[in-house]
Structure 1
Amino acid sequence: MEIRPVGTSALLIEVDDPLAWFAALDAERTAGRLDVTDIVPGARTVLLDGVSSVTTLTATLRSWPPPSAAPVTADDLDIPVTFDGPDLESVATLVGTSKDAVVTALTDAVFRVAFGGFAPGFAYLSGLPWSVPRLASPRPRVPAGSVGLAAEFAGIYPTASPGGWQLVGRTDTVLFDIDRTPPALLTPGRTVRFVAA
């Protein structure tokens, strides 16, 4: 584990299993044993913000054993997806199978929200059975609800925005609603399945 200060009140830790560390740190915060404002998992890091003493927390973290694995939540979510994306055929070619086999693989997969980013409500879903390259040139506008693949992640665009992911389908599921608690539907650790609509 590498620990780096970020400004005067945050730490960035590089770890092998950010989701496991996020769950362990969040449990400590919930129990009142960790005084931080925010815990934000990333692809290979966890950011701890609002740290009262960077020096003390650094020493504490160095003494902790690494968590064995991220706990599996019982908070499963099925997301209906219409698999008619403009890149479905090219994804099938890239992974060496048919479009139907790609859809079957995606609906058989159990995804976990690894971390959020890019836009409010956007979640990087781990569990993709292959790695898929981004588009060579991003689209200037991807419609809200588009289901895309990039590298080892799947994701759903919560709003219309530019994007370079391979689009395989679309959903009407609302991913971000400021009037909902929490506003983001896809929170770290949540289990997600795509259901063919």
Structure 2
Amino acid sequence: MSAATASAPSAIVFEALADDAWLLRLGDGIDDAVNARVHRLTARLRAQAPPWLRDLVPAYASLALFFDENAIDALAVKSWLTAQCAQPDDDASDTQATRRIVEIPVAYGGGYGPDLDSAAAELGLSAHDLIARHSGGDYTVAMIGFAPGFPYLSGLDPALALPRLATPRTDVAAGSVAIGGAQTGIYPRPGPGGWRLLGRTPLALFDVSRAEPSLLQPGDRVRFVAIDAAEFAERTRLPAQTPA
């Protein structure tokens, strides 16, 4: 692929998702540049805040828009979207410095991360090196999916990519920090899962009692901070908080 081809954004494709929803496809697969474009478009549409807009749900390469069909018809929404999408896409406005940064404390290894040692061996690293490289990354919440509050994080060092387990676990602890393919993520609640478990955070990723239930939002920057078992225990006794 030439540099010119790589830098030229693809046309946005509109698909009727439901009677009250449009799906905007900006690309295919996992691509950081496409995902950044999704978040810029999401921010632009959210800033307009028309009264009929009900929700915007960004994904890796697409954006779903839900509207009040009693207030506006689908073709009118499509016309509005077409005009919005025709505006210049200024990627200079998408500086990482303006995004919210959320630090996630993680206790790595042992009972917190039962796959740490085997994952390190598979990668040809020591457990210490794997922790250092994983916690040293600068990640972006590409999307929320799979389960309420589950963040798919882009920015994983390609050298740390690992295939999912051949047989998924039936029970993964809430807060488990894991690698699945070329992504890293955090399980917000107990349940089945096939990603490699490196550690666990004491933070609640999803809590319906909070004003904003999901701790992380698409577009947030995430940094993992290694902690020990004593700090993990201490943090579990603190009231849950949503970062500013």
> What TM-score comes out, normalization by structure 1 length?
0.89
- Structure 2 residues without counterparts, runs of 5 or longer: 1-11, 28-33, 228-244
Among residues 16, 41, 46, which one is paired with 1:5 in the alignment? Answer: 16
**Residues 85-126 of structure 1, C-alpha deviation per residue, up to 9 Å, x if partnerless?**
111123223333222111011111011111101111111111
Query: CA distance change for structure 1 residues 34 and 136 in 2, over 3 Å: closer, same or farther?
Result: farther
Which contiguous aligned blocks of 4+ residues in structure 1 show a shift greater than 4 angstroms? none
Q: What letter corresponds to residue 22 of structure 1 in structure 2?
A: H
Aligned to 2:176: 146
RMSD value, Cα: 2.2
Larger displacement relative to structure 2 (114-123 or 17-26):
17-26
Query: CA distance change for structure 1 residues 74 and 47 in 2, over 3 Å: closer, same or farther?
Result: closer
Aligned to 1:60: 83
Are 1:196 and 2:243 counterparts? no
Q: Secondary structure at 2:118's aligned position in 1?
A: helix
Cα distance in 2, alignment partners of residues 24 and 2 from structure 1: 14
The structure that has the greater radius of gyration is 2
**Residues 108-158 of structure 1, C-alpha deviation per residue, up to 9 Å, x if partnerless?**
101111110111111111111022211111111101111111122211111
Query: CA distance change for structure 1 residues 46 and 172 in 2, over 3 Å: closer, same or farther?
Result: same
Aligned to 2:212: 182
Larger displacement relative to structure 2 (32-41 or 78-87):
32-41
Among residues 67, 92, 96, which one is paired with 2:120 in the alignment? Answer: 92
Query: CA distance change for structure 1 residues 135 and 113 in 2, over 3 Å: closer, same or farther?
Result: same
Q: What letter corresponds to residue 119 of structure 1 in structure 2?
A: A
- Structure 1 residues without counterparts, runs of 5 or longer: none
Q: Is the 8 A contact 2:38 2:60 kept in 1?
A: no
Q: Is the 8 A contact 1:13 1:47 kept in 2?
A: yes
Alignment of 1:77-156 (within 5 A): 77-84=102-109, 85-130=113-158, 131-156=161-186
User: What fraction of aligned residue pairs are identical, expressed as a percent?
Assistant: 37
Structure 1 residue 67: Cα displacement: 4.6
Aligned to 2:237: none
**Residues 152-192 of structure 1, C-alpha deviation per residue, up to 9 Å, x if partnerless?**
22111111010011100011111111121211001111111
> What TM-score comes out, normalization by structure 2 length?
0.73
Q: Is the 8 A contact 1:132 1:151 kept in 2?
A: yes
Q: Hey, which of these two has a bigger chunk of helix by percent?
A: 2
Q: Is the 8 A contact 2:57 2:65 kept in 1?
A: yes
